[in-house]
Amino acid sequence: MSDTSESEYDDHLVSNTEEVCSLIPQVDSMPNDDILMRTLVDSKYNWFEFVEQLERQHYSLDVLVDLLENFFLTLPHKNLSKEELQFVVQSHRAFNAVACDMAQDDRIVRSINGEVVTDSESELDECTATKDVRSLVVRKQASVKRRSRRLKSQILAEKRFLSRKMRSHTSKIIKQFPNVGEIIEEYVIDHNVGADAWRRTGVLTFDGNTNLKNKVTYKKIQAHLKKILGIDISYGTVVELCIPRNKRRRSAKRYRGLAKVTTRRARKGFNLRYNPDAHWSSAFYKGLNTIQYEDGSNVLNINRDDAAGFRLDTLTTCKQHATPVVQGMDVLTTRTDYVNKTPSVLQTTSYNFTRTKTTPEVCVGVVKAVPIHQKNPAQHYSDIQMLVKEPLLKHVFYNCETGNPKIIDCIRVDGASDEGPTHEVVQYFWTNWHFQQGKVVTLVTTRSSGSSYLNRVELQNGCLSLGHANTFIPSTLGGSCIDSQTGKVDEHKLKQNLSLAIDAYISRVDGTPCGETNIKLFEGSDSSGIQSICTSLEIYLKGSKKAKLLLCSQEPELYAQFEAIWGIRDRHLVHGLPSSYIFFLRCCFQKECPHPICSRGGSIQDYFWYPNGPPVSTLPLPSIDPERPWGSMSCTDHKGFCTGHYKTIMVDLDNSTEMLKDVQCHLL
């Protein structure tokens, strides 16, 4: 409110109050501030109700005018909240606006009746309320009218004044078969096979039955009722026995709602996919947390995952989160169906070096683009070699006290073909890393299918998506990728544009906060040297005997390298563990082993997961708790039926063959 309007508002406070309260009978008593405040609270801070209650108490006109003026001016100093004071001010201004309108109408009537109206009474500007006050009154009136219409419609619907008469055939069926609604519901439940049926019982997962019942339609419900009830029932009657899809339509009044059946599309209902190993996997990772996150001085915790792709030339993949903008200057994007003819997707591989009790969390991202970079184990191996050489990450890969490389690596990945520990190519490159970096232990694990969202790196991916929200990067920063003469894609120009786009992405998103740290971004490494051996490696691992002999004769040095690395893998691999979830390498300490740690001599019992902790020859594996088995009704952690529990045991991998067999049998 401007200063002028405030002065006018204060000047006419008394006059407006006199006009409204002119009909109040006069009494000699005068209420104090406590009575006025209590009356205002009882009226729910509505000035109209407040004045009306004072009128019922028959206070004198002079006392009421002065009292209202002084009381209103002292309200800012009362113990009122900001919302309560704002409501009082708004209702008070609306009250005075109505008073001015009433005074104006009264003057018009008096002038028509021949009465003389003085100049002071005809000065409408002095009593005219401001525009915002009048608009507030109009909005309040419209709101009251809308609410009254809704209440009226609700009362009519409850009393069924407008309901149509039930058809005689429908009424006859309901009286003859009162359980017809239950019959329809049982039929629909029996024929609908959604994710809830798979997850709830698991019957459809293990019984091997591939024959599912037909899709449910109202026509098939009609045929089922004819067969069960033995009567002739129409299609419309079947529909009327169910509940309406849209209750606001007029036709919804004909529906009886005996069967809680309607048509709906499928929706997502579970955070997890159904997997029988999910319980075991959760218990296993709970045990891993105790040995991996205790002390990080000699343990390198790597949590790796590929984030969602970032498309250039559009905001389709990065407009899910809002960013502050100047009003009227929204961030613009292209059509959602815009697609380039050339590759234009950037993908960040997130590395989360998880926090331990002695080391902080470090978040790193490697930004890559096809065809500059590949999505395979060789590219990941090249990237991690690049990160080791980064000065900013020296404290991650090396012991801060001794300056030596950390000797225990714990890697958590998902089960994709480029990361999963069960794939032989992945095992080869981790074995090569185990050999080149001189690691005593290299443990690669993955969660059960559908549970990878529990990894810490998924949170980092979410923070990264917030960082690049509403970021538009074109794919032609260095010019068009299409050759103007041939009309074909210029591969050199394409790679140049993608490299420029990566630089633009890093400059924009680098430093995005994640937890108590920030995400540091790097461009993907050049893995052309390692990519050149991938074809030969595939032949060595999966090729025929003839192809392997040909490879040995054509590239003897490369074949010898494969033989050496794979020999280390065979000697250091811990057998008997679930290969789908665990790839565990540890030094064998044999003299003929070329591994740098093994050549020094010693024993695996000399190395521990953390100071004064268990040796690295042990691993926390879940074992079925016999005191809380599956199906128990006396479990203290579950009410009723118990789904079973695991207890984590530090298993000595050298002397627990039977234990490992039990784990394999349980998972298989």
* Three-class SS of 75-116: HHHCCCCHHHHHHHHHHHHHHHHHHHHHHHHHHHHHHHCCCC
**Dihedral angle of Cα 562, 565, 569, 572, to the nearest 10 degrees:** 160
470 φψ region: left (φ > 0), alpha (ψ -120 to 50), beta (else): left
Q: Of the spans 144-153, 163-172, 476-485, which averages the highest pLDDT? A: 476-485
* Mean pLDDT to the nearest integer, 426-455: 92
Share of residues in the chain with pLDDT > 70 (%): 78
| CB-neighbour burial class of residue 60 (10 A; exposed 0-12, middle 13-18, buried 19+) | middle
Question: What gap in Å lies between CA 145 and CA 484, rounded to an integer?
Answer: 66
Question: What gap in Å lies between CA 15 and CA 181, rounded to an integer?
Answer: 69
Q: Which residues contact 521 (CB under 8 A, 6 or more apart)?
A: 348, 364, 365, 366, 367, 505, 506, 509, 510
Question: What gap in Å lies between CA 353 and CA 384, rounded to an integer?
Answer: 12
Tell me which of 328 and 667 has the higher pLDDT: 328
> Which element (helix H / strand E) includes 241?
helix 235-241
**Dihedral angle of Cα 263, 265, 269, 270, to the nearest 10 degrees:** 140
pLDDT, position 559: 95
> What angle is formed at CA 210 by the lines to CA 206 and CA 214, rounded to 5 degrees?
125
Share of residues in the chain with pLDDT > 90 (%): 36
Q: Please, which residues bridge with residue 256 across strands?
A: none
In this prediction, residue 306 has a pLDDT band, given cuts at 50, 70 and 90, of very high
Phi, psi angle pair for 564, to nearest 5°: -65, -45
HSE (side-chain half, CA atoms, 13 Å) at 105: 6
* Mean pLDDT to the nearest integer, 479-492: 87
Question: For the ranges 136-140, 176-180, 267-271, which has the lowest average pLDDT?
Answer: 267-271
In this prediction, residue 347 has a pLDDT band, given cuts at 50, 70 and 90, of very high
Between the alpha carbon of residue 212 and those of residues 106, 190, 217, 219, the distances in Å are 80, 10, 15, 18
Per-residue pLDDT tens for 230-289?
A: 888 988 888 888 888 787 777 777 787 888 888 877 766 655 455 677 888 889 999 999
pLDDT, position 58: 61
Q: Of the spans 56-70, 328-342, 371-385, which averages the highest pLDDT? A: 371-385
| Nearest Cα to Cα of residue 37 among 5, 8, 69, 72 | 72
Phi, psi angle pair for 603, to nearest 5°: -145, 150
Question: What gap in Å lies between CA 77 and CA 515, rounded to an integer?
Answer: 43
**Helix count and strand count (H, E) for the chain:** 27, 11
pLDDT at 591 over 70: yes
Q: Hey, how many other C-beta atoms are within 10 angstroms of the C-beta on 222? A: 18
In this prediction, residue 25 has a pLDDT band, given cuts at 50, 70 and 90, of very low
In this prediction, residue 335 has a pLDDT band, given cuts at 50, 70 and 90, of low
Q: Which residues contact 14 (CB under 8 A, 6 or more apart)?
A: 65, 66, 69
pLDDT, position 60: 58
Tell me which of 505 and 147 has the higher pLDDT: 505
- Pairing outcome for strands 646-652 and 618-624: antiparallel
Per-residue pLDDT tens for 396-419?
A: 999 988 889 999 999 999 988 899
Residue in the structure block whose two tokens are 């990160």: 387
Tell me which of 28 and 30 has the higher pLDDT: 30
What would the two tokens of residue 164 be? 């149509």
Give the mean pLDDT of the chain. 81
> What angle is formed at CA 408 by the lines to CA 403 and CA 413, rounded to 5 degrees?
120
| Nearest Cα to Cα of residue 362 among 447, 430, 456 | 456
Q: Of the spans 108-112, 152-156, 594-598, which averages the highest pLDDT? A: 594-598
HSE (side-chain half, CA atoms, 13 Å) at 19: 19
pLDDT at 444 over 80: yes
pLDDT, position 167: 64
Question: What gap in Å lies between CA 619 and CA 408, rounded to an integer?
Answer: 13
pLDDT, position 27: 45
Phi, psi angle pair for 583, to nearest 5°: -125, 105
**What is the DSSP secondary-structure string of 27-91?**
-S----HHHHHHHHHHTTT-HHHHHHHHHHTT--HHHHHHHHHHHHHTGGGSS--HHHHHHHHHH
In this prediction, residue 586 has a pLDDT band, given cuts at 50, 70 and 90, of very high
pLDDT, position 359: 94
* Mean pLDDT to the nearest integer, 466-488: 87
pLDDT, position 635: 80
What would the two tokens of residue 445 be? 């694990």
Q: Hey, how many other C-beta atoms are within 10 angstroms of the C-beta on 569? A: 19
pLDDT, position 502: 95
Question: What gap in Å lies between CA 341 and CA 667, rounded to an integer?
Answer: 46
**What is the DSSP secondary-structure string of 117-136?**
--HHHH-HHHHPPPHHHHHH
* Mean pLDDT to the nearest integer, 383-389: 96
In this prediction, residue 323 has a pLDDT band, given cuts at 50, 70 and 90, of low
pLDDT at 592 over 60: yes
pLDDT, position 104: 66
- Residues 607/438, Cβ–Cβ less than 8 Å: no
Question: For the ranges 9-18, 488-497, 648-657, which has the lowest average pLDDT?
Answer: 9-18
Q: Of the spans 5-14, 325-334, 576-585, which averages the highest pLDDT? A: 576-585
pLDDT, position 132: 65
pLDDT at 501 over 90: yes
| Nearest Cα to Cα of residue 17 among 76, 59, 71, 64 | 64
In the chain, the largest separation of any two C-alpha atoms, in whole Å, equals 125
Residue ranges of E strands in 163-298: none
pLDDT at 228 over 80: yes
Tell me which of 477 and 162 has the higher pLDDT: 477
pLDDT, position 573: 94
What would the two tokens of residue 76 be? 């800012």
Q: What is the DSSP letter of 250?
A: G
Question: For the ranges 185-194, 434-443, 533-542, 573-582, which has the lowest average pLDDT?
Answer: 185-194
pLDDT, position 17: 45
pTM: 0.62
pLDDT, position 434: 96
| Rg, C-alpha atoms of the chain | 39
Residue ranges of E strands in 488-580: 512-514, 517-523
pLDDT, position 3: 47
> Which element (helix H / strand E) includes 534?
helix 534-542
pLDDT at 189 over 90: no
In this prediction, residue 186 has a pLDDT band, given cuts at 50, 70 and 90, of confident
pLDDT at 4 over 50: no
How far is Cα of residue 338 from the mean position of the Cα atoms in its chain?
Answer: 26
* Mean pLDDT to the nearest integer, 8-22: 46
pLDDT, position 353: 96
pLDDT at 295 over 50: yes
pLDDT, position 631: 76
Per-residue pLDDT tens for 73-130?
A: 888 877 788 888 888 888 888 777 777 767 666 665 555 455 544 444 444 444 444 5
Phi, psi angle pair for 345, to nearest 5°: -125, 130
